[in-house]
A and B are shown apart, each in its own frame.
Chain A
Amino acid sequence: MEDVNLIKFLAVGAVLFVCGVLCMTTKRNAIGILMGVELVLNGANINLVAFSQYGTLGLDGQVMSLFVIVLAAAEAAVALAIVLSFYNNHRTVDVDQATELSG
């Protein structure tokens, strides 16, 4: 386990983050976008935990990640409610159809 170090964790986090962002930019399905958000958040969590283990952050990093998880859950609940409402109105979850907020 010698070769397991901070860089590798960060690399995994970065990959997860980029995957999440790409998912958010490319998916037209609202649920897909939510999944991308989860990926981004979890990428950030990995970073926090990694810094907790290898950096000077200590337990703070883990606490922060716990907060992020809680926030993600809350965010998911709100977002799913919006999606449901959107679906009720438009019979679709395609975000490209949602242009009511355009200027």
Chain B
Amino acid sequence: MSPEIYQQVGSQLVWLLTAAWLLPLLGFLVEIFGGYWSSRTSKAPAYIAVGCIGSGFVLSLIAVCVWMNATDFVPWKVAEAHDVHATAEADHDDHDHDHDHDHADHKHGEGEEALEHGHADHHESHANKPFEKAFAGTFYRLGKFGSLNITLDWYIDGLTVLMFAMVTLIATCIHVFAIGYMSDELTERYEDHFVHTKDGGHFHRVGRFYRFFAYLSLFCFSMLGLVLAGNIFQVFIFWELVGLCSYLLIGFYVERHSASTAANKAFIMNRVGDFGFLIGLMIIWTWFGVFQFAETNPETIGETGLFQMVRNAEGEIVSHGEGAEKTVVLQARQGMHLQHEGDESTIPYWLLVVAGLGIFAGCVGKSAQFPLQTWLPDAMEGPTPVSALVHSATMVAAGVYLVGRFYPMFTEEVLLVIAYTGCITLFIGATIAVVATDIKKVLAYSTISQLGYMMLALGLGGWLAGLFHLITHAFFKSLMFLCSGSVIHGCHHEQEMTKMGGLYKKMPITCWAMFIGVVAISGLAIPVLTIPGFGAAALSGYHSKDAIVATALSFSGLNPLHSMLFFIPLITAGITAFYMFRMWFMTFFGTPQDQDVYDHAHESPRLMTAPLFVLAFFAAFCAAGGENGPLAQLILSTEPTHVAGGVEAGGIIALNLPSHHQIHEVHSAAGSFALLAALIGTLLAYLLYSLKVVDTNMMKNQGRAIHEFLTEKWMFDELYDWMWVRPVHVVSSWAVAFDKYVLDAFLHFLSRMVVLIAVWDRKFDEVVVDRIVNVFGETTYSMGRSLRAVQTGRIRQYVTFIALSVVSLFILLFVFLPR
């Protein structure tokens, strides 16, 4: 890409995405203030919110087109020459494999071409190959601290535009859905049936329709800002904003005790992760001095970004030494080592690991990974559209997104930690979902499990697989959440699946939309059948889960020590299908469990079902073509350079990461395994919950201990209670005792002393000081009184006295004055 076109495309993209990003902020301001002043029964805030996010979607879509056009994007990889191999191999999976070979070659050529252009025009400025299709720049400098610039940047590549399109599309659907779902807030007097007042009635308050949409808009702004952010510090800012919105929305029914505690829990557990994030930021600040991801502009040779410092043009980490002494050489833009007063600039390898783990800790909190996963199910206290938007499709995906975005900074040690975290999380989430009876809780645990899958994939070197699943999951999970919202709305806020059943007749649209979501997440496909140009006949979830399982299989082949990382996800794929179909059968089929709920159930209005159609369409077809399809190709186009080739004995722990080629080799096998697992899970669910060949209650009684362990969520809340809450209580009781018996006693002693001294002081004042003053006064007064008698007022008397006095004075003078 020539610099002129680069500038042009870059400015176009920035304008489009900035507008899409800031529109919800504008909407938020209008809604929160306008809504406050205007009528509470007005639907205007909702229309403003939908308008803002809807136009954001249009702008994002244009941005996607601009980006595709500018990067000569080829959405559909069709094999051009597979004559030799194709005849030998009949299975369709091998066809796919073959296509990808061609595709990989083609891409390679393309890259070289671009590289040569760059060389010709601008010497070495295109040396950093991974970033030639990204656009970065600065909006505004917030401050400068020493050599560190705190800025608001943008960083736009295929992943950014894709995330923009995904977030705005899902958000638009959910906004529209929420107009219907939240319509009972359109009142001056809202009765909250879950809050009881002391006199036995229900709590009443004004409706908060406008506030809900204002929060949603603020959330969209924060999420888009997070995606657009061009430096890790800016990511952190929006990270916190997103957390704030989550807090506000979980605690939307703030009068309900469960909602306010859930909001607190989510906020606090996220802070635990953010503590790690801050440590990572500090290390980056200290050792790199920049927060920017990468410098991409071919014309300016300014500061390099983090990715360019850590990895050279080939995407490798250059390091010296072994073991604890190992140091990483920081790269400059043109492949020269970054000079710092003559010395090579380096960072200890273990610090790079710690920085990566710190950033990942933030992702653990935000994406509800083990061990911080317990906040997400509680977050279901928020209204269902919030659960759909914030706690399944976008915000929790931000952690996965950041791992993907920050991928070049992660060493093999960090990746292994990510993989194991994801593996533990996906298993825990799936097992709890099996026994959950609250329809939203099932989906919440399923979200945790699926996020675990994404983390696992990223940790295993499957960059594409993780982010592919992020996008597909966003669609089918938001679809399923909206369906559950529709069910809850239709059943008048009944969430327990044990009270549902047979709802198929009452709400067929919801039922079949849910079915699409369930099939998608389960990863079901029609075996053997393949549609020309489309790949396997399956919905989106099959393709992305397939990619993850393939990565896991190839990883475990390379590292036999970590083969658990393949078997657990594979088993969990079966469990996923099981609990999802369990939910579907329990809700929509069988006999109605609660006649009252059944009788009053109704299909949701068209305003709420329309978004279901849109999301169902995307959940079904967004991943069409699998890894050859446009979605995967779009993600793949921004893959960091070092991922494709894999890693051999990387890091201090000598970990092998599979290359694209190695993954494709096992793709068909992995796909069949995953499909088999999913089919078994589906069959089991069908037998148990539709045909009811075995009484599930009996099974529950048989395995009572396990069942209780699972319904108690693996005892995590109890564990944290024992680990953190109770020690704090004990320590605080000590502190209370210390206060009471030591500090208070001392203070009481002091105050008693003061009182005593004051009493004595008063006595001294009264007896001594006052007495002296009084004596003076009294003496003067009595003297005055006694002298009063002398003043007779008789002139003759005075004269007599004067005369006599003068005479006597003279006599005295005569007698005593010496002469």
Contact = CB atoms under 8 A, between A and B. Distances in A.
Interface string B797-811: 001100100000000
B795 A103 contact: no
Given A95-B796, A103-B788, 7 more contacts: A25-B799, A33-B796, A99-B793, A102-B793, A102-B794, A103-B787, A103-B792
Closest A-B pairs by Cβ, 7 of them: A103-B791, A102-B793, A103-B788, A101-B793, A99-B793, A24-B799, A95-B795
A24 B793 contact: no
B790 interface: yes
A2 interface: no
Range class of the B interface residue count: 10 to 19
Given A21-B803, A25-B803, A99 B796 contact: no
Interface string A10-33: 000000000001001111100001
A99 B794 contact: yes
A102 to B, nearest CB: 3
Nearest to B791: A103
A25 B800 contact: yes
Contacts of B788: 103
A24 to B, nearest CB: 4
A103 B790 contact: yes
A100 B794 CA distance: 9
Residue of A24, A25, A27, A28 most packed against chain B (CB within 10 A): A25
29 contacts: A21-B803, A24-B803, A25-B796, A25-B799, A25-B800, A25-B803, A27-B796, A28-B796, A33-B795, A33-B796, A33-B799, A95-B794, A95-B796, A96-B794, A96-B796, A98-B795, A99-B792, A99-B794, A100-B793, A101-B793, A102-B791, A102-B792, A102-B794, A103-B787, A103-B788, A103-B789, A103-B790, A103-B791, A103-B792
Contacts of B789: 103
Contacts of B792: 99, 102-103
B803 A98 contact: no
A33 B798 CA distance: 12
Contacts of B787: 103
A28 B793 CA distance: 13
Interface string A43-66: 000000000000000000000000
Contact of A101 (B791, B796, B799, B800): B791
Contacts of A27: 796
A98 B799 contact: no
Contacts of A98: 793, 795
A52 B800 CA distance: 30
A27 B800 CA distance: 12
Contacts of A101: 791, 793
A103 B790 CA distance: 7
Interface in B766-819: 787-796, 799-800, 803
Nearest to B800: A25
Contacts of A26: 796
A66 B814 CA distance: 30
Contacts of B791: 101-103
A58 B752 CA distance: 87
Nearest to A26: B796
Nearest to A37: B799
A21 B799 contact: yes
A59 B748 CA distance: 92
Contacts of A95: 794-796
B547 to A, nearest CB: 122
Contacts of B803: 21, 24-25
A46 to B, nearest CB: 18
A98 B798 CA distance: 13
Contacts of A103: 787-793
Contacts of A100: 793
Contacts of A28: 796
A24 B806 CA distance: 15
Contacts of B793: 98-103
A33 B790 CA distance: 21
A96 B797 CA distance: 10
Interface in A61-103: 95-96, 98-103
B784 to A, nearest CB: 9
A54 B477 CA distance: 142
A69 B571 CA distance: 142
A95 B793 CA distance: 9
A83 to B, nearest CB: 11
A24 B794 CA distance: 12
A21 B790 CA distance: 21
A98 B792 CA distance: 10
